[in-house]
A = this chain, B = another copy of it.
């Protein structure tokens, strides 16, 4: 089973080594990890005229289309929520009907993280916008997509300095996906 590895891991200084580490975990569980950093087989010649950023976006969409599942790193990224690029890919995979599995190294509920970020205990932010509070890990569309797709969200409790390093939650997530796929 080909599994697209969505996450802000691509922004790490050692992104290639990180992708290799994620893939190695997949290998150990009999899955084939596909990284956003991978070259795309048969990339359309027409894309060569696109600016690099838009070519990367097309390539990632195409990678997801070659996969049978997606595993997303939802560890909060520069704010209370997951990386938006990762979240876009979750929505993309969900609409394609792929099982979407997810993990995060921050176990706090979304409302708690949001209030900590805003520095308020109120139910609304300084601009009056509601603090979503459903005892979920992030915005309801994300966990909604994961659960509706048949996937699971696996939470790790990792100290901040290790949150972009620790692979415990990722490994448990991949193991659970592999068990279900073998099921």
Instruction: Find chain B residues with CB under 8 A from A77 CB.
Output: 129
- Residues of A62-115 whose CB lies within 8 A of B: 77-85, 87-96, 114
CB-based nearest B residue for A124: B13
CB-based nearest B residue for A97: B95
Flag whether A121 is at the interface (Cβ < 8 A).
no
Within the complex, the shortest CB–CB distance from A126 to chain B, in Å, comes to 10
Given A12-B128, A78-B79, A96-B95, residue A85 in contact with residue B54 (CB < 8 A): no
Interface size range on A against B: 35 or more
Flag whether A43 is at the interface (Cβ < 8 A).
no
**Are B127 and A164 interface neighbours, CB within 8 A?**
yes
A-B pairs with lowest CB-CB distance, top 3 = A57-B144, A91-B91, A79-B79
Give A residues with C-beta under 8 Å from B.
8, 11-13, 51-54, 56-58, 60-61, 77-85, 87-96, 114, 117-118, 124-125, 127-130, 132, 134, 136, 138-145, 147-148, 164
